[in-house]
Amino acid sequence: MVGNTVDTIISGAKIITMDAQRRIYMDGALAIKGNKIVAVGARADVEGKYQAAEVIDGGRFVITPGFINGHIHSTGDPLTRNYVPENIHCEPYEKLTKWVLPRYYAHSSDNEKVSAQLACLEMLRAGITSFIEAGTIRHLDEVVDGVKSLGIRGRVGIWVEGRAYDDTVDQQALNHDAIGKLQDEVARFPADDTELVSAWPILVGHSTNSDEVWMAAKVLADANGLGISAHMSPYKEDPDWFLEEYGCRPIEHLADIGVLGGKVSLTHVVHINEAELNILAETKTNVVFCPLASLKGGFGVTKIGRFPEMADAGINLLLGTDGYDIDILHSARLMSALFKDTHLDQRIFSAYSTLEMLTVNAAAAMGM
């Protein structure tokens, strides 16, 4: 038995594996050695093969793979959640400039570190063991330092906006600065099997970065085996802007410049048409849905959201909490219920499929 010695066995729990066969063990056990899970199975089988220094009675628990939060603002929101009044209604740009952005700009490096730590503690409490940051971190070094202290896995990125909206601003200088920031963060916080927290070239999205920045981010990501994440089309303002600027819709334009693909995750993606949906499917681009943010933000998802159609087209869907309730199971419940109602079909997004979004789908998007 010496060769089968492990540190810990959690015994007697109900285990939902999310393996290829989606096996569930009603009387299961899980063996841990060092920082690795080395066995999952029926309790009798695991206990018969391994002996442990510590055996924990898991009879009161259900064990699942760690959940993955596909989109979270770990700074800004956690310290000022519910700051924006519920009784205001204004255009998205006005809400952004008057209510949302000032909160981020007011936070010091210490504030951001504490905010990220709070977000990570909330995530861990909710069973989330990995996350993709939304790309609105201003003080990346302090945030990484704080997140690393908590043992959670994260993909983070500094706030990058590299687009000039008028001719008085030097677009080439903005490109140079934005691309330099992406290259610097990837070099300083590289993806490494020994490091839980690493940097991705994360872009804010919408219209905030030029084509040159997008293409540089894609080259950087591909060269280092990383992902890209960005917001896109929560409101019709995104398609309207792209149509005016480029004569085509956002997803069409991103496809035209060659920056979509299986390592790219776009968040929200509510205001899209059939052609854009087909492009997402063809390029195998991931889509992150944040149900609570969509509903509270008034995106119109109950009227025009195409997420069941995305799933039918084979698009990899995952879930995020954005800046709202960190308990991602609440997002899963909303996802499971919302489109049953909009499509009058109770078969849409079963508990199995929503659990896949929190685990295997999101792991694929993270390259794990």
Instruction: Flag whether pLDDT at 115 surpasses 50.
Output: yes
235-254: average pLDDT? 97
Residues 197 and 291: their CA atoms lie apart, in Å, by 26
Instruction: Map tokens 């056990």 to a residue.
Output: 29
245-263: average pLDDT? 98
Residues 41 and 122: their CA atoms lie apart, in Å, by 29
pLDDT of residue 225: 95
Which residues make Cβ contacts (< 8 Å) with residue 195, sequence separation at least 6? 189
As a whole-number percent, the residues of the chain with pLDDT over 70 amount to 99
Handedness of CA 138, 144, 150, 155 (dihedral sign): positive
Domains 2-63 and 67-365 share a fold: no
As to burial, measured by CB atoms within 10 angstroms (0-12 exposed, 13-18 middle, 19+ buried), residue 353 is: middle
Backbone angles phi, psi at 349, to 5 degrees: 50, 75
* Range of lowest pLDDT (65-79, 89-103, 265-279, 328-342): 89-103
- The 3 state secondary structure assigned to 64-132 is CCCEEEEEECCCCHHHHCCCCCCCCCCCHHHHHHHHHHHHHHHCCHHHHHHHHHHHHHHHHHCCEEEEE
Instruction: Flag whether pLDDT at 2 surpasses 70.
Output: no
* CATH architecture, domain 2-63: Roll (2.30)
pLDDT band at residue 143 using 50, 70 and 90 as cut-offs: very high
Interaxial angle between packed helices 211-224 and 171-188, expressed in degrees from 0 to 180 and rounded to the nearest 10: 20
pLDDT of residue 1: 44
188-212: average pLDDT? 95
* Contact status, residue 254 vs residue 231, Cβ threshold 8 Å: no
The pTM of the full predicted model, rounded to 2 decimals, is: 0.94
152-165: average pLDDT? 96
Query: Hey, which residues does 55 pair with through a beta bridge?
Result: 9
142-161: average pLDDT? 97
188-198: average pLDDT? 92
Instruction: Map tokens 């210490």 to a residue.
Output: 110
For residue range 15-29, list pLDDT tens digits in order. 999 999 999 999 999
* CATH architecture, domain 67-365: Alpha-Beta Barrel (3.20)
Closest residue by Cα to residue 11 from 52, 78, 59? 59
For residue range 43-61, list pLDDT tens digits in order. 999 999 999 999 999 999 9
pLDDT of residue 80: 87
Instruction: Map tokens 């693909």 to a residue.
Output: 261
What are the tokens at 73?
Answer: 């603002």
pLDDT of residue 3: 55
**Between 119 and 98, the higher pLDDT residue:** 119
pLDDT of residue 193: 79
As to burial, measured by CB atoms within 10 angstroms (0-12 exposed, 13-18 middle, 19+ buried), residue 254 is: buried
Instruction: Flag whether pLDDT at 93 surpasses 90.
Output: no
What are the tokens at 115?
Answer: 């905010």
- 140 CB neighbour count, 10 Å cutoff: 22
Instruction: Give the domain ranges of the chain.
Output: 2-63, 67-365
pLDDT band at residue 83 using 50, 70 and 90 as cut-offs: confident
Q: Calculate ∠ Cα 322-115-82, nearest 5°.
A: 55
Residues 310 and 337: their CA atoms lie apart, in Å, by 17
